[in-house]
Structure 1
Amino acid sequence: MKNLSFTSLHLLVVAMAALLTGARLAEAVTCSTMELSPCIGAFTSTAPPSAACCSKLKEQQPCFCGYIKNPKLGAYVKSPRAKTVISTCGVSFPKC
């Protein structure tokens, strides 16, 4: 019985460490709208987003709420075209 409890505790510790490591990776993203430059064509025309654009959107996803709350950027991020590009890339739009 002791071995089972120790094994369960060990698995719990490993799982928590993995979750905390994932949280640190999300924090490591540098929020910069310049990172979204591969998306300019898709945001300003009906051109489909490139693979590079989609990759950057996925990378910058933790930053979206900050962009939306920024008075100078919010209208662009919430625009119908931006939402279409984000959706096309398979990135979920944030609920801030």
Structure 2
Amino acid sequence: MKMVSFVALCVAVAVVLFSGEIGTTEAVTCNPTQLSPCIQAFTSSAAPSTACCSKLKELQPCLCGYIKNPSLKQYVNNPNAKRVASTCKVPYPKC
């Protein structure tokens, strides 16, 4: 019986310790209009701005969804978008 109480105590301590780490991640809201600082770089050979790179990094978890969206695909699945991602040091997703 003492062993069961000890194991339960250890599990409780582990839950308390790790629950803080789990709660620190923020959800990303996938809104393609947030990539508006990148439009010129996506549609021409212009260099991406700092704002573009920042948003691209922030929205990285959304990129596959954008690539699969027929109305957005032309903007995010082209050589310029791949160049922008590379310049911003954002790995281009393999969806």
Global fold match (TM > 0.5) = yes
1:51 matched to which residue of 2? 50
TM-score of the pair, normalised by structure 2: 0.74
Deviations 1:40-79 (A, max 9, x none): 1211221111100001101111111111111111232111
Structure 1 unmatched ranges of 5 or more: none
RMSD of Structure 2 on Structure 1 (CA): 2.3
Structure number with bigger Rg:
2
Q: Provide runs of 4+ in structure 1 moved above 6 Å.
A: none
Percent of matched pairs sharing the same residue: 57
Q: Distance in 1 between matches of 2:52 and 2:72?
A: 18
Size of the alignment, in residue pairs? 88
Q: Distance in 2 between matches of 1:95 and 1:19?
A: 26
Structure 2 unmatched ranges of 5 or more: 1-5
2:75 matched to which residue of 1? 76
Matches within 5 A, 1:1-96: 10=13, 13-15=16-18, 17-22=20-25, 25=26, 27=27, 29-96=28-95
Q: Distance in 2 between matches of 1:19 and 1:53?
A: 28
Which structure: greater helix fraction?
1
TM-score of the pair, normalised by structure 1: 0.74
| Greater RCO (CA < 8 Å, at least 6 residues apart) | 2
Q: Distance in 1 between matches of 2:67 and 2:94?
A: 10
Q: Distance in 2 between matches of 1:57 and 1:64?
A: 9
